[in-house]
Structure 1
Amino acid sequence: MKRHILFYTLVLGLVWFSGMPDAAAQVTLASIRQATDGVKGQGTGTSLLVLLKKLELIHKTSFVYQKELLEHKTFSGPFNETDKLEQVLERILTPANLRFKKLKGGDYTILPRKSPKVSFDADDLKPADSSPRLSPEMPLPSGPMAGARADFSPVAQPNRVVDMVVKGKVIDSEKGEPVPGVSIVLKGAVKGTSTDAKGEYAITVPDAGAVLVFSFVGFEKQEVAVGNRSQLNITLKADMNQLNEVVVVGFGTQKKATVTGAISSVNTKELLQSPVANISNSLVGRMPGLFAVQGSGEPGNDQSTLRIRGVSTFSGAADPLILVNGVQVSNYNNIDPNEIENLTILKDASATAIYGIRGANGVLLITTKRGKVGKPQFSYTGNLAVTSFTNLRKGMNSYDYASSYNAGLKADSYVSGGYTPKFTDDDLAKYKSGEDPIFHPNSDWYALALKPQALQTQHNVTINGGTEKVRYFVSAGFFSQGGQFNNSDVIKDFDANRTYKRYNFRSNFDFEVTKRLKASIDLSSQTENLTGSNWPTVRIIESIARSNPITSPGIIDGKIVNLVGVAAVNNPIADMFSNGYNRQYRNFLQGSIRLDYMLDFITEGLTMHGLTNYQNNNTETLINLRPLVTYNAIRLADGTINYIPQNVDQPFSFQQQIGKNRRAYAEFGFDYKRAFGEHYVTALVNYNQTKYFDPTLAFLVPNGYQGVVGRTTYGYKSRYLAEFTFGYNGTENFDVGKRFGFFPAFSLGWVASDEAFFPKNDVLTYLKFRGSYGETGNDQIGSDRFLYRPSAYTTATNAYFFGEVGSTQTAYTRSIEGKLGNPNVTWERAIERNFGVELALWKNKIRVTADYFNKQRDNILANLGTVPITVGATLPAYNLGKMNNRGIDGDITYNDQLGKLAFWVRANYTFARNKIEFQDETVRPFSYQYRTGQRYGQLFGLVADGLYNTWAEVNDANRPISIYNSNKIQPGDIRYKDINGDGVINADDEVPIGYSNFPEKIFGISFGGNYKGFDFSVLFQGASNVSIAYNRTQNRGFFEDRAAPAYLINSWTAERYEQGLPIDFPRFSQNGTYNHNYVNSSYWIRDASYVRLKNVEIGYNLPKAFLSRIGLSGTRLYVNSNNLYTWSSVFPGVDPELPTGVTNEEPYPLTRTLNLGLNLKF
């Protein structure tokens, strides 16, 4: 109070000595008090910090500011918080000599008002923090002070000369563009200015020792000593923490700083760097905790399998729950990535418990873009790409194949007796010379049946803009992907090549109906066309892989020629056509309406919302069938070759298949957000219900979900954080009384770096701890929805016959009991624990996030293995299984700048190891053979101990007896370890070998930068602790006249052994029943770990000055590539990511993409 009196006395004294008449004095004590209270906050008004937090809740926006700019400042005048936001801001900020600036994302930054031409330095007043400045709204005096600027303090100025004026320009390190609105403040003073539209500024400083502070939302604050420089240009670096300030969580958003759950996210920019057909493939290697394994490169069917933090169940579905704009969808891969604003995965129970019975496998949230206030902004993106296969297995040439085939027959004769070579010396000579290309060819079937490249195109147009009342985002896109089958169009009106086309449309509209009522209407459509052979591509590729080089080319003079001299191998080109032509049309239509109504007249921060969503999915498949005309090649006596047709050409026949399903969703709830000083509270409660209709569902009964979910959070000074979430919901998959469950979760967070005792330094600038515990469920168990009901079926086989013996009898179908029901079957239950830490180092240049998780899953559906089959019925499954999954995940990011080069390096890592803790297994003879206690998918087999190389080794009396090949072992066969020591090699010696075929470890390493309009990024991605078993027929060769991979030339022979040449495989064998060398064993286990150069992109942004002359606001040219190179130790030509060790089918190979792109903005 004394300071106030002294201040008012000083001001009145100055006014008096300036000669101002009392009667004309306009600077009253009340006006001075009003101005002072606005600046110093010593009056009875409301703190500006509190007011801004309230406005954030009411208007659903965010404010970014320097805390010291608003500390101790208040506002005491009247205003309506529900008025237009910018009117409110103008009202409360102006008296405090502050202003606001709207950002691109719709948020606001609070800045000091621009410095007047005549200013003073608060350092010249003592004490510095008590120097008042009059409000611009303060009435100006008349007389000698008439004409004085409203923002010029009436305090007498010190009698000194201003030393220097510093000018300069501030640019964005990433884009190289000027940054308007940057706050520039003289350190230790209230004096400041900001950059203009060109990013330029000018400020007066007292001396060469002055330090300027540059700050702007989304960028790191910089402090720069002026020295003797009058020109000071600054480059601001992006602050990744601020850019990602708001993150998407279940049923809402939260500030990243207040999140206590484990989440990871990726933005549109990173998704668009990968020129791929679907979203799942663009996520590979970009987020910790997300496993993505691509199982095929087939156009329209090349999506990755996603697992969040590995696999936690051995029976039920392990797929995460997928939601787009808060609504579950069945297919998210057909969304155009240009429509996506953000993609987030929820990893722990505190984040997923709100989804209750569907949250145990994690949740993937996709948020699409929405309109922003401003003039319409148009954007066009176009891409033209060439795709090629990453890996193709090379086969033996015809001479090596025929020679090795004979060697296999000779070796097998030791077991079967008698040896007759299939290929004579004359045959071998002709294969070697190539003189008889029809009957002694050297065919490369991969080259004959597959093209080296295919084209891929993508186009997208978006428009974004609106007013305060109406905002819109509209997007339309087209994507086309060609396949690489060769000679696929030899039949008129019939192209067996696999092609995929997609048409996307999305419109998101937001309306401010009244001050309290807001509405959103979203519409989206994805239409897909797939054409090609009606024969599955895995069977076509398998046919190509098994076709040997000694068979004649499949097409000669436009005729499809049957292969010569083989019986078990078809012409793979004929396989493309033999089952017809398939055209599939898929359309997914979705619409949502959401209403939000503010209930602040009840209590501040309360809103009510309702959401309804309808999805319609239609599929139509048209199949054209036509008998295939093939030809046999016959050599006549004169040496000419005739081609004899084997059937007659006929018209197409026609089949049609139609499928459809629809999903309806409704949600109603209340949201509450409010700040009480330094305390911040949020709460929500929602009722939601889903119905899924599908004519193929059992008994045409719809499937539904119903439940209530809630969340409440508390924060104090954004330092101490707590959250409680729950889901109480149920599913119709189970019997009455077993459908509903309660799934709670708790989490806590502590920002230790905000504590007063935390040492302030430039090394560790941010430290946050968080932990959570919760329960979730998984109702996607078993293949039968009605597990709780007994099943029966009718059959005409073994029917009952009635009638007299010897006369006509009538057959009656009978009903047979299928399996018993289990009325107690229910969902899987997951209990999850998570502990995480987040930290920033060296002035936020390095940011680290790390989590430890432990998931305990029980109630896993499993069959009874200990019940004998003599029970006489098919028993139901029970909730018996238990499984544990634990590990760590995290990422680290480094941002810095060298001159004009701004760069970043990022790495993420995930380790997740599961263990089956209980399943009711059949009794096994040895403890090491139980699957309980092992990883899910753990491989089992014999342990190989090299090869037998000599007859002395074979005839050793101590050699174990092999039950395979009638114990007729010979040099070149695999030696196995007798694990149980009984002197016999059989299934009792099988033990865990290698890992499972799903990786335990994944990682991604990326880096990039920007320099004078150029930008680049590189992504490496990989996996480890994963194995494949490769003892399939494709890797054996010769059996049923199958092809042999070229690498089998390194198989054991006596000559190679004697000459000391590399030997990688056992001896050749042609007889598929002689399987001593091909049973499951460690010999065929390969480490499928790999590192892949996943993505590279280089771009260039054309200069703004040039673009403005042609009416464009932005143009970027770029080239990128996907799946460039892979380092792996698996067999040559085999991709470690493809599931080639599971069956004898061959997946469509993965593709490499080289893409040229253009983005225009206007």
Structure 2
Amino acid sequence: MPIQGRVMNENGEPLSGVSIIEKGTDNGTYSAADGSFSLNVKDENAVLVISNVGFVKSEVSIKNNRTPIILLATLQNNMEEAVVVGYGKQKKISVTGAIASIQTKELKQSPAANLAVSLAGRLPGLTAIQKSGEPGRDITQLFIRGQGTVNVQSPIILVDGIERDLKSIDPNEVESVTILKDASSTAVFGVRGANGVILVTTRRGKSEVPEIGYSFQAGMQDFPNLIKPVNAFDYATLKNLALTNDGLSPAYSDYALERYKLHDDPLRYPDNDWNKINLKKYAFMQRHNLTISGGSKFAKYFVNAGYLGQGGQFRTEPHQPLGYDPAFKLDRYSFRSNIDLQLNKNLSAFLNVAGYVEKVNSPWGATGSNASLYIIAFGNDMPANVPGPLTQKGEILVGSAGQWSQYALINRSGYVKTTSGNITSSYGMEQKLNFITEGLSAKAMVSFDITPVNNLSAARGYESWMQVIDPNLKGADGKDSIYNVPSNAGVNTPLSISGTRSFTSLSNVQASVNYARVFNKHSLSSLLLFQQQSLIINEQLPFNSRGFATRWAYNYDSRYFFEFDAGYNGSEQFAKKRRYGFFPAVSGAWVISKEKFLKDASAIDLLKLRGSYGLVGNDRLGGQRFLYLDDVQLTGGGYSPSLGLGQTVQINLLKNQNLQWEVAKKTDLGLELGLFNSVTLSVDLFRERRDNILRNRGTVPLMNGLPISVLAPVNIGVVENKGYEVELDYQKKFDKDWSFLAKLNMSYARNRQLYADEPLLPPDYAYRYRETGYRIGQQFGYLVDKYFGSEQEIQLSPVQNVGGHTSRPGDFKYRDITGDGVVDQRDMAPILFSSVPEYSFGAALQASYKNFDLSILFQGVTNVSNYYMFRGTNSVSNYVARHLESWTPERASKGLPIEYPRLTTQANPNEIMNNFFINDASYIRLKNAEIGYNLPARMLSRLRIRGIRIFANGFNLMTWDRLPTKNFDPELTGDLSYPIVRIYNFGINVNF
């Protein structure tokens, strides 16, 4: 008897690839792209079993209903769902380690060019710090559970099981991102797992029904935070004030000040807003993606082709007549193909091929040797009263001899183009070995990646001119005449081309035996894996690693879980007898909600306790390789008074044959709770002790005969890191139209250096250590009490012996912590925190009504500080708004707010490491917001279109912070970084 029907989700959207089986038989089919299905059943009273991953299984009787419309409810707390772990998958309920993951839907809500940036605020335990917004060179630092070492702290990143880069991954290719945090989940990575692991799983074909999707996005970028110098009148006024404070003559006359104020002679007394001159209001970006997936019982496939184009914010001259393009921009073309083959009942194979071609362009002045990233800095340096940017003839115009011009660095210095490519390939097979014993299988995989990079640098010289105002020669209007004279000895030269090339290859071989078997209420699974990897960069000696990993997991009745994980790894970083290490971990879990005394508690979906303890290593020690070898060389020779003519031996490094990896001892306790099929709570407490941290000795006496610099580092450092994580989710489907989701997560991790072989400072120091007992990166400086109000106060106060500068009224009065009557380095104290946050948090809200959906992500950090003493905060070259309220006798006597010490043009004791310039860098950011609309399915079904979604989203939309000035983003730590961008984006997805 023929049956025809449709399968949809709670929102009325069609579901493809859903399994429909006649109960009690093997007669079944899958739903098509529009959710429809047809099936010939054997019994007119048959019951259909409908199932799909992530949905509640449903049974529907077809008695008197041959055209059923079936709605599947989303399973909010799906413990049977498979989650990715190291070298495999496990059911969610059986995971005994600390892991967290997100799916592709959340990742695609962000329009950011770099996938790593999109992870910020989404995963408990992961901290993402963006350090630059430059197209193609944006930098994001990732930390899992804070810092545990003074060496390389970043986690390892594996894409489909192979160590690869996150930057080039297209979000449309990603199925999920999982982070592994404790010893149980990372022990299989052995000597590489101490900093945590990020697993990226790419999408694969699932349904036999072909699916085609196209996505287009177009966005506008701007700089939400910019250093904004004062106008020409304020600059001239403040410069005169600084000179007067120094006892010098003012630089600007009253007449000049009047002209700047009235703007009535812009040619001679300009008032340039360099941000408006050199920056566009918006920069354009776009993204295109085409995905195709589907297959048959024999083969399934997923293919993605993508393009990302991102422009820069700086205004540039046309390609002609320059003959080249100096713009900041990125063009990236990417491709991925994942194919799965079922060769027979017991043998399967897969082939993954991916790649990209990327072109990154920028002005030579941004990356050239003598002006590295000074485009940003010099723009902030240029006062508003500097003329320019061009003469009437189109040449560079500056304010003084030899002065840099931001406009010239952008447009006239040449360009740099980096063209890079990447091809990754993985091939593997899996053979079921049930003929030996049921549940046994073997798997092998070979991968090979290549990454060529070509850097082209095209530099040119340019002439610049300086404007001269001659009061002795009057023009026709009676004003002082103006003419230009050469400012430098340069001339406009042709491009000088140079370049470098690099080539990186990575090969990886993996072979594993897996076993999984259920005996009544007993479940047993195991893994034994061999891996060998070789990374070759240019013509350097390879970075080789080799090792074994194993996992043994047992559970009884899905209530009691026990697991043993271990890695046995070797690395060429160490001497032959010390290359291999063993890293074991044990873990367990108790699902209390499965116990009889809670089985009837309908409100409790899940109550689970878990814990783990183990050892993990870190062989990424940074710096020089092969520290177990001496570095000794003969000098070129020469005359020595005692030896005569001849060569001498120069010792650059004395070997350390006992060199080893860092060892992290990790403990984790976790609680998972699910209530009312709508609320989930996860809490983790963790502690790590990192031993064997490689450090330079600090307590070697000088009498040893060699400087400390030639002694190899030793495994002597110890760091403790501990904290907690909380994740709370609420998800509710109120009716067929309304649904709501709220996700909150917070992480806290504080480290402390227990031992650093640091020399103990003399007893008269207020703080005798600078590292031992403090956080990694703890900043020290002077504590400001107030401002000196008079010379008499200076004479009656402790001597300010800071930097060799004499204090004057209006300078900072530093605290004499030691009480010895002198303020010097003995009085330096720890200030605030380090540059890596101790608290990270995120709050995601999602709601849908009928065909509309809305999502919002807030992200933030606290207990973090940075040293903000650079252009835009100090008064070295230019002034900003805070300098308008600098100390003066008049402001002090009237009790007016004072935002800055006295202005000066000379070296002073103020602009140094102190708690005025070390600021709290905490912030809350509206990281992402998106609103979308799905066109009605009924309207599209006639066109054979499965769905169309129109959406608009934004990135880095608003920021609230504690900085004393809004001139820069709290994540940035200097004025040489390309500013972080804000994105307004529009897009459309079409699925066939």
Instruction: Please state how far the C-alpha of 1:1034 moved relative to its aligned partner.
Output: 4.4
Contact (CA 8 Å) 1:942, 1:991: kept in 2 or not?
yes
Distance 1:706 1:275, change over 3 A: same
Q: Does 1:183 align with 2:59?
A: yes
Q: Does 1:1092 align with 2:925?
A: yes
Instruction: Please state how far the C-alpha of 1:954 moved relative to its aligned partner.
Output: 3.2
Partner of 2:583: 743
Instruction: Please state how far the C-alpha of 1:889 moved relative to its aligned partner.
Output: 0.9
Instruction: Please state how far the C-alpha of 1:966 moved relative to its aligned partner.
Output: 6.2
Partner of 2:4: none
Residue by residue, what CA displacement relative to the aligned partner does 1:380-420 show, whole Å, maximum 9, x if unpaired? 0100000001101211111111111121122233xxxxx22
Counterpart residue type for residue 309 of structure 1: R
Distance 1:794 1:1107, change over 3 A: farther
Partner of 1:682: 525
Q: Does 1:1062 align with 2:897?
A: yes
Contact (CA 8 Å) 1:1010, 1:1016: kept in 2 or not?
yes
Partner of 1:880: 716
Counterpart residue type for residue 618 of structure 2: N
Partner of 1:829: 663
Aligned equivalents of 2:561, 2:913: Cα separation in 1: 53
Distance 1:647 1:765, change over 3 A: closer
Partner of 1:498: 328
Contact (CA 8 Å) 1:1027, 1:1089: kept in 2 or not?
yes
Distance 1:420 1:813, change over 3 A: farther
Contact (CA 8 Å) 1:462, 1:475: kept in 2 or not?
yes
Partner of 1:993: 831
Distance 1:270 1:793, change over 3 A: farther
Partner of 2:389: 554
Aligned equivalents of 2:62, 2:482: Cα separation in 1: 93
Distance 1:271 1:151, change over 3 A: closer
Contact (CA 8 Å) 2:51, 2:57: kept in 1 or not?
no
* Higher relative helix content: 1
- Once the two structures are overlaid, the 10-residue window that deviates more, 544-553 or 865-874, is 865-874
Contact (CA 8 Å) 2:725, 2:746: kept in 1 or not?
yes
Instruction: Please state how far the C-alpha of 1:1152 moved relative to its aligned partner.
Output: 0.6
Partner of 2:494: 651
Contact (CA 8 Å) 1:1090, 1:1136: kept in 2 or not?
no
Partner of 1:364: 198
1:1108 to 941, 945, 967: 941
1:544 to 362, 379, 387: 379
Aligned equivalents of 2:879, 2:980: Cα separation in 1: 21
Instruction: Please state how far the C-alpha of 1:580 moved relative to its aligned partner.
Output: 2.8
Q: Does 1:1147 align with 2:982?
A: no
Residue by residue, what CA displacement relative to the aligned partner does 1:30-66 show, whole Å, maximum 9, x if unpaired? xxxxxxxxxxxxxxxxxxxxxxxxxxxxxxxxxxxxx
SS at match of 1:94: coil
Instruction: Please state how far the C-alpha of 1:1092 moved relative to its aligned partner.
Output: 0.5
Counterpart residue type for residue 694 of structure 1: I
Aligned equivalents of 1:1130, 1:551: Cα separation in 2: 29
Counterpart residue type for residue 855 of structure 2: S
Distance 1:1018 1:475, change over 3 A: same
Determine which structure has greater relative contact order: mean sequence separation of CA pairs < 8 Å that are 6+ residues apart, divided by chain length: 2
Q: Does 1:317 align with 2:152?
A: yes
Instruction: Please state how far the C-alpha of 1:150 moved relative to its aligned partner.
Output: 8.2
Contact (CA 8 Å) 1:448, 1:553: kept in 2 or not?
no
SS at match of 2:878: coil
Counterparts of residues 24-63 of structure 1 (less than 5 Å): none
Contact (CA 8 Å) 2:56, 2:75: kept in 1 or not?
no
Partner of 2:290: 461
Q: CA RMSD for the aligned pairs?
A: 2.9
Partner of 2:341: 511
Aligned equivalents of 2:981, 2:87: Cα separation in 1: 37
- Once the two structures are overlaid, the 10-residue window that deviates more, 242-251 or 654-663, is 242-251
2:859 to 1010, 1021, 1037: 1021
Partner of 2:965: 1132
Partner of 1:260: 96
Partner of 2:478: none
Residue by residue, what CA displacement relative to the aligned partner does 1:726-745 show, whole Å, maximum 9, x if unpaired? 10011001111111000001
SS at match of 2:244: helix
Counterparts of residues 803-952 of structure 1 (less than 5 Å): 816-841=650-675, 843-870=676-703, 871-873=705-707, 874-899=710-735, 900-925=737-762, 926=765, 928-930=767-769, 931-952=771-792
Counterpart residue type for residue 324 of structure 1: V
* Higher relative strand content: 2
Partner of 1:63: none
Instruction: Report the identity percentage.
Output: 35
Instruction: Please state how far the C-alpha of 1:952 moved relative to its aligned partner.
Output: 4.9
Instruction: Please state how far the C-alpha of 1:306 moved relative to its aligned partner.
Output: 0.4
Partner of 2:870: 1032
Residue by residue, what CA displacement relative to the aligned partner does 1:1006-1029 show, whole Å, maximum 9, x if unpaired? 101111110010011000001122
Contact (CA 8 Å) 1:561, 1:633: kept in 2 or not?
no
Contact (CA 8 Å) 2:963, 2:970: kept in 1 or not?
no
The TM-score, its normalising length taken from structure 2, stands at: 0.90
- Once the two structures are overlaid, the 10-residue window that deviates more, 1097-1106 or 653-662, is 653-662
Partner of 1:1007: 845
SS at match of 1:487: coil
Partner of 1:1158: 988
SS at match of 1:770: strand
Counterpart residue type for residue 347 of structure 1: K
Counterpart residue type for residue 390 of structure 2: I
Instruction: Please state how far the C-alpha of 1:677 moved relative to its aligned partner.
Output: 1.2
SS at match of 1:332: coil
Partner of 1:479: 308
Aligned equivalents of 2:925, 2:66: Cα separation in 1: 46
Instruction: Please state how far the C-alpha of 1:239 moved relative to its aligned partner.
Output: 2.4
Aligned equivalents of 1:150, 1:638: Cα separation in 2: 107
Aligned equivalents of 1:489, 1:790: Cα separation in 2: 55
Instruction: Please state how far the C-alpha of 1:971 moved relative to its aligned partner.
Output: 2.8
Instruction: Please state how far the C-alpha of 1:965 moved relative to its aligned partner.
Output: 7.5
Counterpart residue type for residue 271 of structure 1: L
Counterpart residue type for residue 829 of structure 2: V
Partner of 2:450: 616
Partner of 1:199: 69
SS at match of 1:920: coil
Q: 5+ unaligned residues in a row in structure 1: which ranges?
A: 1-84, 117-135, 138-148, 153-169, 185-190, 201-214, 220-237, 414-418, 803-808
Counterpart residue type for residue 391 of structure 1: N
1:787 to 613, 627, 651: 627
- Once the two structures are overlaid, the 10-residue window that deviates more, 635-644 or 847-856, is 635-644
Counterparts of residues 125-144 of structure 1 (less than 5 Å): none
- Once the two structures are overlaid, the 10-residue window that deviates more, 436-445 or 505-514, is 436-445
Provide the aligned length of Structure 1 versus Structure 2: 944
Q: Does 1:286 align with 2:126?
A: no
Distance 1:99 1:376, change over 3 A: closer
Look at both structures and tell me which one has the larger radius of gyration over its CA atoms: 1
Instruction: Please state how far the C-alpha of 1:1005 moved relative to its aligned partner.
Output: 0.6
Instruction: Please state how far the C-alpha of 1:550 moved relative to its aligned partner.
Output: 1.9
Distance 1:786 1:760, change over 3 A: same
Contact (CA 8 Å) 2:746, 2:841: kept in 1 or not?
yes
Q: Does 1:308 align with 2:144?
A: yes
1:596 to 417, 430, 436: 430
Q: Does 1:1080 align with 2:913?
A: yes
Aligned equivalents of 1:743, 1:914: Cα separation in 2: 22
- Once the two structures are overlaid, the 10-residue window that deviates more, 484-493 or 316-325, is 484-493
SS at match of 1:385: strand
1:770 to 570, 594, 610: 610
Instruction: Please state how far the C-alpha of 1:579 moved relative to its aligned partner.
Output: 4.7
Q: 5+ unaligned residues in a row in structure 2: which ranges?
A: 1-17, 368-372, 476-480
1:411 to 225, 235, 245: 245
2:262 to 430, 433, 442: 433
Aligned equivalents of 2:957, 2:838: Cα separation in 1: 24
Distance 1:1003 1:427, change over 3 A: same
Residue by residue, what CA displacement relative to the aligned partner does 1:910-957 show, whole Å, maximum 9, x if unpaired? 0000000000112312362411000111111111112223455334x3
Contact (CA 8 Å) 2:82, 2:89: kept in 1 or not?
yes
SS at match of 2:627: coil
